[in-house]
Structure 1
Amino acid sequence: MNLNSGDLERLRVFFAIVQANGIANAQGVLNKDASTISRALTQLEERLQLRLCERGRQGFALTPEGRAVHARARELFMSLRGFEQTVDSVRGIGGGTLRLAIIDNIVADNQCPLVAALRDFMQPQAGRDIDYSLNVLTPQAMEKQLLDKRIDLALGVFESPHDLLEYTSLYSETDYLYAAARHPACAVGDDAPALAEVLATTRFASRSFLDDAERALLGLDIRTRVSHASNLEALLALILSGQYVGFMPTHYAQPWVESGALCRIGPARYSRRSTLKAAIHRDSTSRAIVTEFLALLCERGADTREPAECVM
């Protein structure tokens, strides 16, 4: 069969449905209502003469045919994105699209160079016409989308580097252990034995991508039950409940400490450094639009109050 533009658009819808694990979850991603998404999916199935997925009260599940189509669609979109990137490289910095992703709540950190780099990069210049997209994702999702060439540059904490990606250290931040003011850990102060006794029976919450490092710092083994939060706001909610302790970056927790809602626990012992890095696909090292923006991130990162060496 010969694919037309309508087929490609419906394949993109199908791809988004699979990534979101269902039509309902894909509404926010696609900015379309469920009936519109469902109609596009039905049209694609009719066009391909294949049943791609089961959907209904039993939940969403791909059929064997759907898994095969999804795998091929992924290859197709990677190829199309690679073609777009090649054209962008030929055009130079003059045009194209810069697709960015960041982890949550880093813009509020005075050390983060993103806003300054965007401001400089977006300055009007003759012959330059660039489109931008910016999304908030988890580090795992960012690395996956970098590998799929759906984004160009990601900014986050990456604990397990991937061989096909290149990472540039921009700056470091300090994470301390926090609890709600009414939590027993806040009452023991600097009494290390008493604090250790309280923490031994306390629930722990963590962002999933930092789980292993934080377990090690607290001396928790793999059997210890940990509640996971997808982002800092969710983690904060768990800690403020008074039932959990957890690590958070200083810049994010400080307003809550100053208001008296949180306390910092055992700062001399329970702290860790996280390095914020920019990640790109190795294929992007020849793309001027990406490398120039990365260079700006490094340059503006050097102006922050606690810079890390920008290693490229």
Structure 2
Amino acid sequence: MRNKSSTKSGRPREVWIRLVYTPEQENLLLQFLTFDGFNGRMQISGSDIHLLTVFDCVVRNNGFSAAQPELGLSQPTISNHITALEERLGVKLCQRGRRGFLLTDKGHIVHEVAQSLMGALEEQSGLLSALKGSFIGRLSVAVVDSSATDTNLRLPEAIKAMAIQAPHVSLNIEIKQPQDILSGIAAGTYQIGIGSFDNKISGLRYEDLYTESHSLYCGSTHSILPDVGIRDISETIYEYPWVHRGYWNRQRQRQIRSHEHDRVVGDIEAQIIMVLSGQYLGLLPDHAAQVHISSGRLTSLPPASDNFSCPMQLVTRNSPQPKIVELFRELVKSQYEL
């Protein structure tokens, strides 16, 4: 659809608005624009849309008189509008008279096209309105694995607030390893990251949210269990193989004595599975281990010097960010300020 406006110099300028139709709507519109008597395609103007709106109201109310209250127009005026539309299209739209109001075959086609056109205009108008003073776009958030069981992670509450305040934002959540989160944010793949990061990279902003505690666990069939509660096992724990996470930094890895049968995995879920086997000890987030403790499949070992707590942080690029990024960042942080 084309409209004309003026430039600063006073010369007319053409502005094009592209409407997107379904295949069914395109077929109806093609029929509408290729009636007998037309030479080429019809350019739909604002007055055409007005006439089609009047015609739609008349059809829905099944007559001129019944459409008066909705349109706020007299019956002669409505009749003149329908006549003008018929002249514009070069087709007879309806029969009116003693036999009442009756649509012609082409009148049915025009009415279907009118409804499709007005529906498309309303949808596009809604999208344009969303641009004014609203948030719109795509936001990608990366989170470390096994965080859904952590009641301290108030990400669901922030997502709810985002959906209410910015319903037109497309929010995508991905589960990634800490280093993939940081490199992804630096590269622009993700806008926000949440996790604990041993190996930080420069150019990013790290903001503490809460602390996640880790303790030493073993499976319910592990051979260390008979010693628990009988004697000090602080040295015994190093006689057994452990399962570690590969993304821990060297300092943390050096703090744990190595065993020739130690294993390294890429994420917490894999680590839990290895510990559940009863063959390995492992430092696990307490919230992630709790469900397996309740079922009797895991056992928490006495506090050891290897137990630790790590800060869970919100990460963004250390530079001015788009409004939707700043909005979600503030919504997450606000959950910890209540």
- Shared fold (TM-score, shorter chain, > 0.5): yes
TM-score (structure 2 length as normaliser): 0.56
Native 8 Å contact 2:144 2:176 kept in 1: yes
How far, CA to CA, are the matches of 2:229 and 2:210 in structure 1?
Answer: 30
Of the candidates 125, 145, 148, which is equivalent to residue 184 of structure 2?
Answer: 145
Of the candidates 104, 117, 131, which is equivalent to residue 145 of structure 2?
Answer: 104
CA deviation vs aligned residue, 1:128-167 (integer Å, no higher than 9, x gap)? 6211211111011111111110110011111122111111
Of the candidates 294, 299, 314, which is equivalent to residue 258 of structure 1?
Answer: 294
Of the candidates 237, 258, 280, which is equivalent to residue 273 of structure 2?
Answer: 237
Map of 2:21 onto structure 1:
none
Of the candidates 291, 304, 307, which is equivalent to residue 271 of structure 1?
Answer: 307
Report the Cα offset of residue 232 of structure 1.
1.9
Paired residue secondary structure (2:173): strand
Of the candidates 151, 158, 168, which is equivalent to residue 117 of structure 1?
Answer: 158
Structure 1 residues 200, 94: CA separation in 2 closer, same or farther (over 3 Å shift)?
closer
Native 8 Å contact 1:206 1:228 kept in 2: yes
Native 8 Å contact 1:92 1:289 kept in 2: no
1:299 equivalenced with 2:301 (yes/no): no
The structure number with the bigger radius of gyration is: 2
Map of 1:132 onto structure 2:
171
How far, CA to CA, are the matches of 1:257 and 1:95 in structure 2?
Answer: 44
Amino acid at match of 1:251: H
1:282 equivalenced with 2:318 (yes/no): yes
CA deviation vs aligned residue, 1:178-207 (integer Å, no higher than 9, x gap)? 00122122222245644413x232111112
Report the Cα offset of residue 268 of structure 1.
5.2
Structure 1 residues 107, 194: CA separation in 2 closer, same or farther (over 3 Å shift)?
closer
Map of 1:177 onto structure 2:
216
Native 8 Å contact 2:234 2:304 kept in 1: no
Of the candidates 135, 138, 148, which is equivalent to residue 94 of structure 1?
Answer: 135
**Larger % of helix: which?**
1
Aligned CA RMSD, in angstroms, stands at 2.4
Which aligned pairs between 1:201-240 and structure 2 lie closer than 5 A? 201-210=239-248, 212=250, 214-218=252-256, 220=257, 226-240=262-276
Structure 1 residues 249, 117: CA separation in 2 closer, same or farther (over 3 Å shift)?
same
How far, CA to CA, are the matches of 1:216 and 1:302 in structure 2?
Answer: 36
1:200 equivalenced with 2:238 (yes/no): yes
How far, CA to CA, are the matches of 2:223 and 2:234 in structure 1?
Answer: 9
How far, CA to CA, are the matches of 2:216 and 2:153 in structure 1?
Answer: 21
Amino acid at match of 1:227: R
How far, CA to CA, are the matches of 2:308 and 2:139 in structure 1?
Answer: 32
Q: Give the unaligned 5+ runs of structure 1.
A: 1-89, 304-312
How far, CA to CA, are the matches of 1:289 and 1:101 in structure 2?
Answer: 15
Native 8 Å contact 2:241 2:260 kept in 1: no
How far, CA to CA, are the matches of 2:242 and 2:276 in structure 1?
Answer: 12
TM-score (structure 1 length as normaliser): 0.61
Structure 1 residues 230, 113: CA separation in 2 closer, same or farther (over 3 Å shift)?
same
Native 8 Å contact 1:207 1:228 kept in 2: yes
Map of 1:44 onto structure 2:
none
Report the Cα offset of residue 211 of structure 1.
5.7
Paired residue secondary structure (2:242): strand
Native 8 Å contact 2:179 2:199 kept in 1: no
Paired residue secondary structure (2:228): coil
Give percent identity, aligned residues only: 20
CA deviation vs aligned residue, 1:223-277 (integer Å, no higher than 9, x gap)? 8663122222211111111111001111110121122111111225442101111
Aligned residues: 208
Amino acid at match of 1:282: N
